């Protein structure tokens, strides 16, 4: 548009004197992306700098400034700095020092350095690959289908259709499924898998875990049973509550996201609510959780306690990370063992030392061990058994 | 929200000579720009407190609804913030800041023009509380940034995290990670460049820095 024409139109607009044709002309002009530079040039040409002698209105503008400053702060935690009440910590200062060294190790890894010392009979942890998307699906007739990360297939059983796409399995809802049958999805050590149940509920299964579920939810309640660890995003259906059974404990759900960790070798069953609402029931005990809370059912004492949890840390496995915050060595090594499918021998460890840090689960075992060796822990791998010892 | 968009444009009568004569009136000390460029939030806030009244007037004379002005300047603030590393290099920061605001003004008008709503009243179905209305584009921008940050390579993300969330200065980060100061600065610059790239790819207008 001619500059003089634009000046004229804008001046007319200012006086609310535009004809309908002129309104249309201006609309067409501003609707064209290429009008941007002409518009900006013209307007900055005439905009003065003496107009700003008004007081700064903090009530209006401070929130705007702060929004801008906060806009690039939203991120998953990378490191785990000191948080929660330090009273519970045995050696908060030691942990803080550890975090820094863990960070350094994490960083310097890219530069590529030594694998761990190997002597005769030892294997290199650099060759121990991380877990993958693998699982076994057991159909109602007992037959099994092997699922791996590269697979794409459709499994038909009766009227139920199941699609596998890489690391995920999806059930297609069929309201007239007829007889209800049960499937079992079993994830081995060194594996993980995702399944979308017929009601749309998504379940992520961690290594050494399994889930039993019907191929159609026709009962009053949607009941599934889990072993190991899973993260649930339950499709909302208030008229048909979702129930997760875990070693005799029950988690009752309306529509929500939560994590259940119930490995037999762990001390407790931990139910962590990310959002929504769940009720944890065991025997006569029942506790309602609020988002961010974790219910801990102690396997030995059968006490049910509630505490605040770091949900990002609890579900780090689902997003592809190990995340440790003030954890002892055996807790960490149990997670490592399940994911890398190794046996861990902790007989030569004597340490109250605790560790923190975050590292990708996609790296070979050696990277994780290097991170821990900074904290005075040494490792030797023989076959698939890892001997762990602490220096002093 | 009763503001009408007709009579949106009100020409400023200021002439170019006046502009030149008054250009040193509103002064942004180079030291503030340098600090803001290093991610100093207080310095950035100081600069914005200085220029916002001016930007408010310039934008307000074009778009008369205070809500629209805030919406536009919210996006402007974010554009400036993700370009902060370029602030110290600007020879004329004030005209550059005005251009960012005017570009966001154009974006706002352009969107309304594209839907043929330029001369229609502003929607009244939006929530009435003023601080809710500007959240739509803000949320969108925040989400783009959030996703972009998650996509940074791990080391760069960690450095960015230490800088933004933990509020560490780049020499401190370099110290903690046993990296050179230059390396950390480059990582932060590269992270910002990536955020800008993502905003641009999502259709958010990014003004070039030279001026």
- Cβ density class A272-306: b for 16+ within 10 Å, e for less: bbbebebbbbbeeeebebeeebbbbbeeeeeebee
pLDDT at B204 exceeding the cut of 90? no
Domain residue limits at B180? 28-201
Taking an 8 Å cut-off on Cβ atoms, the answer to whether A27 and B113 are in contact is: yes
Q: Do strands A132-138 and A191-196 pair parallel, antiparallel, or not at all (unpaired)?
A: parallel
Task: Work out the average pLDDT over B55-82.
Answer: 90
Question: How many separate domains does chain B show?
Answer: 1
- pLDDT higher than threshold 50 for residue A188: yes
- Window 21-60 of B: residues touching A by CB (8 A cutoff) are 22-23, 25-26, 41, 44-45, 48-58
Mean pLDDT of A253-265: 89
Nearest CB to A46 within list B12, B78, B105: B12
Confidence of residue A231 (pLDDT cuts 50, 70, 90): very high
pLDDT greater at residue A376 or residue A314 = A314
- Report the candidate in A335, A359, A70, A369 with the shortest Cα–Cα distance to residue B157: A359
Residue-by-residue DSSP string for A182-240: EEEEEE-TTEEEEEE-TTS-EEEE-SSEEEEEESS--SSSEEEEEEEEEEEEPPP-TTS
- Residue A243: pLDDT band by 50, 70, 90 thresholds? very high
Q: Which of A9-18, A210-219, A243-252 is least confident? A: A9-18
Q: Does residue B167 register a pLDDT over 50?
A: yes
Mean pLDDT calculated for residue range B181-210: 85
Secondary structure, 3-state, A330-391: HHHHHHHHHHHCCEEEEEECCCCCEEEEEEECCCCHHHHHHHHHCCCEEEEEECCEEEEEEC
Share of chain A above pLDDT 70, in %: 84
Beta-ladder partners of A251: A244, A280
Q: Does a structural domain hold residue B80?
A: yes
User: What are the distances in angstroms from CA A90 to CA A93, A309, A354, A355, B105?
Assistant: 9, 18, 8, 11, 56
CB contact under 8 A, A27 and B145: no
Distance between CA B208 and CA A143 in Å, rounded? Answer: 62
Check residue A213 and give its pLDDT.
94
Mean pLDDT throughout B39-62?
A: 90
The mean per-residue pLDDT over the stretch A302-314 comes to 88
Mean pLDDT of A10-39: 89
Query: pLDDT-derived band of residue A13, with 50, 70 and 90 as boundaries?
Result: confident
In a domain, B60, yes or no: yes
Q: Report how far residue A12's alpha carbon sits from residue A19's, in angstroms, rounded to the nearest whole number.
A: 9
- Cα distance between residue A37 and residue B104, in whole Å: 12
In the stretch 120-139 of chain B, residues with CB closer than 8 A to chain A read 131, 134, 138
Maximum Cα–Cα distance across chain B: 59
As a whole number, mean pLDDT of residues A128-142 equals: 88
Residue B157 is part of a domain; what is its CATH number?
1.20.140
> Does the structure show a pLDDT above 50 at B19?
no
| DSSP state letters, B63-90 | S--HHHHHHHHHHHHHHHHHTGGGGGG-
For chain A, domain boundaries: 3-70, 86-127+320-390, 132-314
Three-class SS string for A50-65? CCCCCCCCHHHHHHHH
pLDDT digits (tens, 9 = 90+) for B83-133: 999 999 888 898 899 999 999 999 999 988 888 888 877 654 444 444 344
Least confident window among A65-69, A185-189, B147-151, B207-211: B207-211
Q: Which residues sit opposite A187 in a β-bridge?
A: A209
**pLDDT at res. B158:** 84
- In angstroms, the CA B137 to CA B204 distance is 10
Q: In this predicted model, which residue has the larger pLDDT, A105 or A153?
A: A153
pLDDT band per the 50, 70, 90 thresholds, residue A150 = confident
- CB-based contact, A150 to chain B, within 8 Å: no
Q: How far apart are CA A6 and CA A158, in angstroms?
A: 70
pLDDT at A65 exceeding the cut of 60: yes
By Cβ distance, the residue of B26, B56, B149 closest to A49 is: B26
Contact B6 A360 (CB under 8 A): no
Task: Check whether A146 has a pLDDT greater than 80.
Answer: yes
Contact (CB, 8 A) for A322 and A361: yes
Asked if residue B183 is part of any domain, the answer here is: yes
- Write down the pLDDT at residue B202: 83
Query: Which residues of chain B does A35 touch, with a Cβ-Cβ cutoff of 8 Å?
Result: 106, 110
Q: What is the pLDDT of residue A348?
A: 80
A142: number of Cβ within 10 Å: 7
For residue range A344-367, list pLDDT tens digits in order.
998 888 767 777 778 888 888 888
ipTM field? 0.83
Tell me what the mean pLDDT of segment A138-152 comes to: 85
Lowest mean pLDDT among A55-69, A375-389, B119-133: B119-133
Lowest mean pLDDT among A104-113, A129-138, A151-160: A104-113
Q: What's the fold here for domain A86-127+320-390?
A: Phage tail protein beta-alpha-beta fold (3.55.50)
Tell whether the model's pLDDT for residue A217 goes beyond 70: yes
- Who wins on pLDDT, A141 or B132? A141
On whether any CB of chain A is under 8 Å from the CB of B6, the answer is: yes
Q: What is the pLDDT of residue A121?
A: 54
Averaged pLDDT of chain A = 80
Task: Using alpha carbons, select from A242, A213, A311, A236 the residue that is nearest to residue A270.
Answer: A311
Say yes or no to pLDDT of B139 above 70.
Answer: yes
Tens-place pLDDT, residues A155-182: 888 778 888 988 999 998 776 656 778 9
Q: Domain A132-314: which topology?
A: Jelly Rolls (2.60.120)
Ranking A14-18, A173-177, B12-16, B173-177 by mean pLDDT, the lowest is B12-16
Cβ atoms of residues A351 and A390 within 8 Å: yes
CA gap A201, A223 in Å, rounded:
12
The band of B1, judged by pLDDT with boundaries at 50, 70 and 90, is very low
Question: How many whole angstroms separate alpha carbon A219 and alpha carbon B113?
Answer: 54
Which residues numbered 135-194 in B keep a CB inside 8 Å of some CB on A? 138, 141-142, 145-146, 149-150, 154-155, 157-158, 160-162, 164-166, 176-179
Residue of B nearest to A359 (CA): B154
Report whether pLDDT(A239) > 90: no
Q: What is the pLDDT of residue B192?
A: 94
Q: What is the DSSP letter of B4?
A: B
Residue A78 has pLDDT above 90, yes or no: no
Residue A304 has pLDDT above 90, yes or no: no
Higher-pLDDT residue of A47 and A50 is A47
């Amino acid at each position: 548009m001619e500059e003089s024409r634009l000046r004229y139109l804008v001046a007319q607009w200012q006086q609310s004197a535009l004809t309908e044709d002129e309104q249309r002309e201006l609309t067409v002009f501003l609707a064209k992306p290429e009008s941007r530079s002409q518009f900006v040039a013209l307007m900055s040409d005439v905009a003065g700098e003496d107009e700003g002698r008004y007081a700064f209105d903090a009530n209006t503008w401070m929130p705007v400034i702060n929004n801008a400053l906060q806009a690039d702060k939203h991120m998953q935690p990378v490191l785990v700095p000191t948080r929660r009440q330090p009273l519970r910590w045995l050696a908060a200062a030691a942990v803080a020092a550890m975090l820094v060294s863990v960070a350094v190790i994490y960083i310097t890894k890219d530069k590529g350095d030594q694998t761990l010392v190997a002597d005769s009979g030892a294997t290199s942890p650099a060759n121990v690959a991380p877990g993958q998307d693998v699982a076994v699906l057991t159909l109602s007739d007992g037959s099994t289908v092997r699922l791996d990360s590269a697979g794409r297939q459709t499994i038909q059983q009766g009227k139920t259709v199941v699609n596998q796409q890489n690391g995920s399995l999806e059930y297609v809802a069929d309201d007239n499924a007829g007889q209800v049958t049960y499937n079992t999805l079993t994830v081995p050590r060194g594996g993980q898998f995702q399944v979308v149940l017929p009601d749309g509920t998504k379940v992520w299964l961690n290594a050494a875990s399994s889930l039993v579920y019907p191929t159609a939810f026709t009962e009053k309640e949607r009941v599934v049973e889990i072993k190991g660890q899973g993260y649930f995003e339950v499709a909302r259906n208030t008229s048909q509550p979702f129930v997760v059974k875990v070693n005799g404990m029950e988690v009752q759900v309306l529509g929500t996201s939560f994590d259940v960790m119930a490995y037999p070798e762990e001390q407790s069953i931990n139910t962590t609510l990310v959002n929504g609402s769940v009720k944890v029931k065991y025997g006569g005990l029942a506790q309602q959780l609020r988002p961010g809370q974790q219910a801990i059912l102690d396997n030995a004492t059968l006490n049910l306690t509630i505490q605040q949890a770091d949900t990002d840390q609890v579900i780090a496995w689902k997003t592809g990370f190990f995340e440790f915050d003030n954890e002892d060595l055996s807790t960490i090594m149990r997670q490592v063992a399940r994911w890398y499918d190794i046996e861990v021998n902790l007989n030569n460890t004597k340490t109250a030392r605790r560790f923190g840090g975050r590292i990708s689960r996609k790296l070979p075992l050696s990277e994780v061990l290097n991170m821990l060796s900074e904290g005075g822990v040494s490792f030797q791998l023989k076959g698939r058994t890892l001997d762990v010892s602490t220096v002093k | 929200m009763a503001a009408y968009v007709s009579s949106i444009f009100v020409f400023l009568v200021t002439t170019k000579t006046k502009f030149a004569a008054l250009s040193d009136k509103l002064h942004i000390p180079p030291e503030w720009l340098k600090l803001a460029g290093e991610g100093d939030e207080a310095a950035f806030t100081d600069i914005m407190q200085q220029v916002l009244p001016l930007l408010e007037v310039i934008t307000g004379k074009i778009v008369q609804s205070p809500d629209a002005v805030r919406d536009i300047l919210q996006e402007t603030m974010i554009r400036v913030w993700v370009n902060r590393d370029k602030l110290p290099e600007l020879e004329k920061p004030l005209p550059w800041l005005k251009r960012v605001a005017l570009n966001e003004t154009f974006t706002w008008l352009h969107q309304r023009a594209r839907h043929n709503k330029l001369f229609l009243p502003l929607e009244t179905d939006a929530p009435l509380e003023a601080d809710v209305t500007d959240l739509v584009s803000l949320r969108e921008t925040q989400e783009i940034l959030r996703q972009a940050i998650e996509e940074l390579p791990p080391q760069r993300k960690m450095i960015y995290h230490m800088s933004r969330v933990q509020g560490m200065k780049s020499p401190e980060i370099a110290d903690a990670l046993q990296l050179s100061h230059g390396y950390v600065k480059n990582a932060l610059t590269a992270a910002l460049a990536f955020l800008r790239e993502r905003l641009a790819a999502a259709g958010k207008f990014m003004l070039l820095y030279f001026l």
